[in-house]
Each structure stands twice: as structure tokens, then as C-alpha cells.
């Protein structure tokens, strides 16, 4: 059973650019949640996808968007990058939105210069 | 809105010392409470959970009791090991269908031999 994987591990972008982060959920999981973890802070909820539909969104602007594919992998897209978008982006997968059995990936470290 | 407050770190202890990391929360309704651990270079891992008042979560020698009267969920361990060095996050769940987690800022623990 493979765990949650994320790609890329690190990337550097310039302010104003766009970025796509990817997450492969654990086998059998149909729910993916995305979190932003700024340096020295706890993760903040961006949004959740359940069976390809958005199922809740945190306090993030519309330039943060996502997608979930039929195989339940997911993408996080961020447009018009700002310096404050620099953070570790975590995805977590679970079955049927079960928080108690939610598994996190190692994260993607995004640096915006 | 709902929030979680953790004691400020970092915390430095000697091996076999007693550990307490304080966590208090503000929430409407009856959230579930969690402790997550983040080892260096790894993703978040669920350490323990409690779903209702007076429940005690436990795992790997760590314990926390859901105290509704004091809105607290303090993490304790009787004898820490060097391998417990990590960042610990207290979190609560927000239900209502979105099943998102609200995290505290994290407490970094270093255990010296």
C-alpha cells in the first residue's frame, strides 16, 4: 500500500507566476485536503475534494484553485503568486472524509521570490 | 471562529524527563481533538485523538484528555526519549460536512541524551 506522495519536493517561482502542485492519494482513498503551512506556523486549511467535488474551503482567495481526478489524485493551482505564498503545502488523503484516518504527504516547499 | 492555542516553544528536555505541552481551544459545538507530530523532513502523523469530553487518547506513551470544562487537551508523556524530538501540533476538527482541521502553531520539542 503506497502512502501519500507529493510533487515536486521543492520549487522556486517568481512573484506573479503560476504554479501547480500535485498529490497522489493513498490507495483506496477518495478524499484529498490541502493545507498551507507557513514557516513556524501550523497548517491552514485551503480546501478539500471528495469524489471529484470541492467539499469545503478555507479563507483563501480564488487564485487558489484545485482539482481532483477520477483516480482521486489532486492538483493545487496558485495564480499570480505573492511573496506570502511561500510555504510548505501539504496534502492529506482519507476515505470518505474520515479525519481519524487521514494521512499526510511530506509536502511541497514553495519559495516565491 | 474556532481556534487552538498551544504553549510557545521551543521545549528542551533531558531524556526520561516528564513532558507536558499545553493546548486550549475555542470552538462552537463539540469538536474532536487531535495531536499530530511532525518529525524532521516528514509529513504530519496523527499521534492521538479524542472525540468527546473526558475521552483520553493515548499512543506511544503519550496521553491527552479532552477536558470540556477547561477547554483543554494537554499532551503528556512520563519519560521522553531522544526519538521524540519533533514538532507537535494540537488540532480540532470542524464538522458541518467539510471535515477540516484547525491547527495550533506547533511546539518544537528537543530531547537531549
pLDDT digits (tens, 9 = 90+) for B50-99: 988 999 999 999 999 999 999 999 999 999 999 999 999 999 987 655 57
Q: How far apart are CA B81 and CA B113, in angstroms?
A: 8
Q: Is residue A33 within 8 angstroms of chain B, CB to CB?
A: yes
Q: Do A104 and B44 touch (CB under 8 A)?
A: yes
Burial B91-109 (b: 16+ CB within 10 A, else e): bbbbeeebbbbbbbbbbeb
Return the residue matching grid coordinates 493546548: B23
Three-class secondary structure of residue B108 per DSSP: strand
Q: What is the DSSP string of A45-80?
A: EEEEEETTEEEEE-S--TTEEEEE-TTS-EEEEE-S
Nearest to B100 among A4, A41, A45 (CB): A45
A99 φ, ψ (degrees, to nearest 5): -65, -30
Distances (CA, A) of A57 to A13, A111, B29: 24, 23, 20
Q: What is the pLDDT of residue A98?
A: 80
Q: What is the pLDDT of residue B52?
A: 87
DSSP state of A101: G
Confidence class for position B28, pLDDT limits 50, 70, 90: confident
Q: What is the pLDDT of residue A8?
A: 97
pLDDT tens per residue across all 113 residues of chain A: 568 999 999 999 999 999 999 999 999 899 999 999 999 899 999 999 999 999 889 999 999 999 999 999 999 999 999 999 999 999 999 998 887 778 999 999 999 99
Q: Residues of B with CB below 8 A from A104's CB?
A: 43-45
Is the confidence at residue B35, as pLDDT, over 70? yes
Q: Is residue A93 within 8 angstroms of chain B, CB to CB?
A: no
Q: Which residues of B touch A (CB under 8 A)?
A: 4, 32, 34, 41-46, 49, 89, 91, 93, 97-106
Q: What is the pLDDT of residue B98?
A: 52
Amino acid at each position: 500500500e503506497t502512502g501519500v506522495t507529493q510533487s515536486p519536493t521543492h520549487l522556486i517561482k517568481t512573484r506573479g507566476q503560476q504554479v501547480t502542485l500535485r498529490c497522489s492519494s493513498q490507495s483506496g482513498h477518495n478524499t484529498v485536503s490541502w493545507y498551507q503551512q507557513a514557516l513556524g506556523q501550523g497548517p491552514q486549511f485551503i480546501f478539500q475534494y471528495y469524489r471529484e467535488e470541492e467539499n469545503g474551503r478555507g479563507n483563501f482567495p480564488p487564485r487558489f484553485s484545485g482539482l481532483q481526478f477520477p483516480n482521486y489524485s489532486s492538483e493545487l493551482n496558485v495564480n499570480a503568486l505573492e511573496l506570502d505564498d511561500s510555504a510548505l503545502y501539504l496534502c492529506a488523503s482519507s476515505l470518505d472524509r474520515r479525519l481519524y484516518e487521514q494521512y499526510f504527504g511530506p509536502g511541497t516547499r514553495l519559495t516565491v521570490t | 471562529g474556532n481556534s487552538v492555542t498551544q504553549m510557545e516553544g521551543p521545549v528542551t528536555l533531558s531524556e526520561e524527563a516528564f513532558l507536558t505541552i499545553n493546548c486550549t481551544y475555542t470552538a462552537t459545538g463539540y469538536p474532536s481533538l487531535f495531536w499530530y507530530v511532525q518529525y524532521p523532513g516528514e509529513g504530519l502523523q496523527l499521534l492521538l485523538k479524542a472525540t468527546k469530553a473526558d475521552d483520553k487518547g493515548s499512543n506511544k506513551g503519550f496521553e491527552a484528555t479532552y477536558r470540556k470544562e477547561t477547554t483543554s487537551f494537554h499532551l503528556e508523556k512520563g519519560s521522553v526519549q531522544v526519538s521524540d524530538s519533533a514538532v507537535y501540533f494540537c488540532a480540532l476538527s470542524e464538522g458541518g460536512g467539510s471535515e477540516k482541521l484547525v491547527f495550533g502553531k506547533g511546539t518544537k520539542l528537543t530531547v537531549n541524551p
